[in-house]
Amino acid sequence: MTVEHEDKDGEGRFFVRMEGDEADLTYTRIGPHLIDVQHTYVPQSARGHGVADLLAEAAFEYAREHGDRVVPSCPFVRKWLQRHPEQWKLLDPPFAESLQRHARP
């Protein structure tokens, strides 16, 4: 499965084409090195197959490659981050601190 990327004037998305549909993760550039990951959508027929995970991984790889920090507005991405604490270093500092506080027993 290939994740594609498109960006136009600071509005972007990572997406996967599948039989007659697309799954995507959308973001907005809200600062020179800051992206807000806002929404993840996967068609019902493709859910449970790791598609959303691939999209999140692509978004964080993009942020790493471009020296960006991430604001995780998307509920799926916030949940995904709980399983991937190695990605917290790419978060905008206030969000990283919040995740760390909630992850502790």
Residues of the chain with pLDDT under 50: 105
Going along 1-105, which residue ranges are E strands? Answer: 4-8, 11-18, 21-31, 34-41, 69-72
Which member of 42, 51, 55, 74 is catalytic?
74
What pLDDT is attached to residue 19?
84
Q: Where are the domains of the chain?
A: 4-103
Statement: the pTM of the whole predicted model exceeds 0.85: yes
The answer to whether residue 36 is catalytic is no
Q: How many residues does the chain have?
A: 105
What pLDDT is attached to residue 74?
96
What pLDDT is attached to residue 20?
87
Q: Could you please report the per-residue DSSP string of 62-85?
A: HHHHHT-EEEE-SHHHHHHHHH-G
- In terms of CATH architecture, what is 4-103? 3-Layer(aba) Sandwich (3.40)
Question: Rounded to an integer, what distance in angstroms lies between the CA atom of residue 71 and that of residue 98?
Answer: 12
